[in-house]
Structure 1
Amino acid sequence: MSSCVLRSAWILLLCISSVQTENTVQSTTSAHVVHLGKTATINCDYNKTSEKETFRVYLRREQLLCSYFHQLKSWRKQSCKENIRLIWIPETEEVSFELVNLQINDTGVYTCAVERLTPPPVQTLGNQRTSLHVIAHPAVFVSCVRGSNGVSAILCASEGFYPAAVEQAWIRDGEFITYLNISNTFTHTKHLNTSAVHYNSSINPDGTHSLSLYLHLLTLTPEQVIYSCWVNHSSLSQPITVNISSTECSEKEDVWTGVIFISVVISFGVLIVILLTLEVQSLLQ
């Protein structure tokens, strides 16, 4: 009698375990960091042991982005954004979404869910949340320019980076002379006039940021001085350093002076021709 009771209890426990397995919802969370323009794969974990004749898989981020139905071993697309495609591996029944050409505004939390439609009742088999963070590393350029006051300056431009926080500094002959931290606050050496450096920041149409750091060269000496622009950003494995020589600015200054001189000469010549033409016309009259 006792053995029959134990056997019945064991069978009951197996049935309860089976029901619990059937109703188990796979719920996981993951995070991805992806560079601008690259591709990310969002996996959709779900209970593959559940019986399912027809099921639906969809991807959401605040609103529905992509939805597919699976029935009779084939997929039917309900709706889907252009940069999203479904990946299905029939041997393992693994399903995922691939997002291509990711942009800054694709950053967010995505939810991939799998729902059994038949046999009834409708049941959620899996619900996975994926945090996607799109970043962009800066492209750094240095050049000699002429400031608004006519004084020669060197420009360090960091373009197309995200997030906005960036560190940027000028180094002269291996020594930091000015440093711009992530809060856009300057730190100078005691020998540097604060009016000799300034910056401009902007947001680009694609959501990335740009920063231009100017260092005014109040005097150009014949001795060669090496200036380095140092840039650090969270998207970089190590800071970027780009060098420029003061002689490049001296040579460009000579070119600017020559251009100005030629422009003045041409303008003066044109003025003389006009005056002579007017004088001749007055004599003829």
Structure 2
Amino acid sequence: MLPRELQLPRRETKLLVLLIFLLCCSEPMIQTTSTALSSKMVSALQGETVKAVCAQNIEETEGFAITLRRNSSSTELCYIQLGNFTIWSRNCTERINLEYDKPTKGFYVVMERVSVKDSGVYSCILDKTLPPPVRTQSQSNISLTVSALPVVEVSLASSSPIDKETTLTCSAWDFYPGDIQLSWSKGSQLLTNSTRNDSLFHNSNGSYSYISNLVVSKHDWNEFAQFSCQVNHSTMKMPVVKNLTLTQSEKASLDYTLWSLVIVFGLLAILVAIIVAKSVKLRFKSTSPSSAERGLPETAETHPPQESQSDTTYSLLTHYPGSA
């Protein structure tokens, strides 16, 4: 029994008891959800299939749902509902799917034929849907970077006997990221100040292309000269080198020109022959009437030669009666 001076008034005591009771009763009604957030970095080359962990260590899947979105967008790229490790419903876009792996008890995001445009951050959310309300169990972010190897080509852009210089072109197509190293050399000599109008292009699919033009004088462009274009990119294990020599380029150009001329003249000769033949045939038909039009019988008859008119008159006079 407390001393009288330490005892609370009856009214304050009731209020304190009521407050303690409300706190004790309201504690089970407060819902707390622990969400585990993880992030993963994934790299791939264009055209490959990517498989990344979406959710793992799932002991049971009764009443669960998994949603995949990109860059915190509200658009769902893939959504599945689960019940006792069985997929109740699935709605995924083209090339994207969610797969369950029993040995690891995890769900994986599978993206087929990835391209540079697929680069970005994807969020994978695991929700407990039963019993309601919906509770988020885990969320993981997948940062995907898709790179693309450059396609390297070297060619003779322009050259003729009257030109004082020749232009060689080295092209690197459809690569990502945009940083690239390109250099020219003649034999073992590095050429640094002979390029003209080099250009870096940003393609519509998110990749890049680079074109370099090397100007070579006729003095340097001789039969024994070999020019090389070297391209280095972060996606390559080692640089790519493309070579071009005078004999290769000029012989190919000459052969192509000769064959083109032969084909063109051959087609023209055939066309002229056809036109001439048709013209002769039409002219023969128009100038040569048929046997019916000329009034001749099909088989000709032979008649003996006839006497002249003077011989006939003389014969009549000699045989006239009474003539002496």
Whether TM exceeds 0.5 here: the answer is yes
> Given that residues 61 and 84 in structure 2 are in contact (C-alpha distance below 8 angstroms), is that contact kept between their aligned partners in structure 1?
no
Q: CA deviation at 1:28?
A: 1.2
Superposed counterparts of 1:122-133, under 5 Å: 122-133=134-145
2: distance between equivalents of 1:77 and 1:135?
33
Amino acid of the structure 1 residue aligned with 2:232: N
User: CA 1:251 to 1:46, structure 2 compared with 1: closer, same or farther past 3 Å?
Assistant: closer
User: CA 1:250 to 1:53, structure 2 compared with 1: closer, same or farther past 3 Å?
Assistant: closer
Which residue matches 1:60?
A: 69
Q: CA deviation at 1:253?
A: 6.5
Structure 2: runs of 5+ lacking an equivalent? 1-31, 266-324
Identity of aligned residues (%): 25
**SS of equivalent residue, structure 2 residue 235:** coil
1:129-159 per-residue CA deviation (whole Å, 9 max, x = no partner) reads: 0100111010111122217996532221111
> Given that residues 144 and 252 in structure 1 are in contact (C-alpha distance below 8 angstroms), is that contact kept between their aligned partners in structure 2?
no
1: distance between equivalents of 2:201 and 2:242?
21
2: distance between equivalents of 1:71 and 1:246?
70
1:185-210 per-residue CA deviation (whole Å, 9 max, x = no partner) reads: xxx3xxx4xxx533233333432222
> Given that residues 104 and 134 in structure 1 are in contact (C-alpha distance below 8 angstroms), is that contact kept between their aligned partners in structure 2?
yes
Which residue matches 2:227?
A: 227
Which residue matches 2:41?
A: 31
Superposed counterparts of 1:243-254, under 5 Å: 243-251=243-251
Aligned length: 230
**SS of equivalent residue, structure 1 residue 44:** strand
**SS of equivalent residue, structure 2 residue 238:** coil
**SS of equivalent residue, structure 2 residue 129:** strand
2: distance between equivalents of 1:197 and 1:56?
58
> Given that residues 152 and 253 in structure 1 are in contact (C-alpha distance below 8 angstroms), is that contact kept between their aligned partners in structure 2?
no
Q: CA deviation at 1:52?
A: 5.3
Amino acid of the structure 2 residue aligned with 1:244: L
Superposed counterparts of 1:88-99, under 5 Å: 88-99=100-111
Match of 2:91 among 76, 79, 103: 79
**Higher RCO structure, 1 or 2 (CA under 8 Å, sep 6+):** 1
**SS of equivalent residue, structure 1 residue 247:** helix
1: distance between equivalents of 2:96 and 2:156?
44
Match of 1:117 among 129, 134, 159: 129
1: distance between equivalents of 2:51 and 2:64?
21
Match of 2:176 among 162, 169, 192: 162
Structural RMSD (CA): 3.3
Which residue matches 1:236?
A: 236
> Given that residues 229 and 242 in structure 2 are in contact (C-alpha distance below 8 angstroms), is that contact kept between their aligned partners in structure 1?
yes
Q: CA deviation at 1:54?
A: 0.3
Report which of the two structures shows the higher radius of gyration computed on alpha carbons. Answer: 2
Give 1 or 2: higher strand fraction.
Answer: 1
User: CA 1:205 to 1:77, structure 2 compared with 1: closer, same or farther past 3 Å?
Assistant: farther
> Given that residues 47 and 125 in structure 1 are in contact (C-alpha distance below 8 angstroms), is that contact kept between their aligned partners in structure 2?
no
> Given that residues 153 and 171 in structure 2 are in contact (C-alpha distance below 8 angstroms), is that contact kept between their aligned partners in structure 1?
yes
Matched, 1:199 2:181: no
Runs of 4+, deviation exceeding 3 Å: 147-151, 220-223, 249-260
Match of 2:52 among 36, 42, 46: 42
> Given that residues 25 and 46 in structure 1 are in contact (C-alpha distance below 8 angstroms), is that contact kept between their aligned partners in structure 2?
no
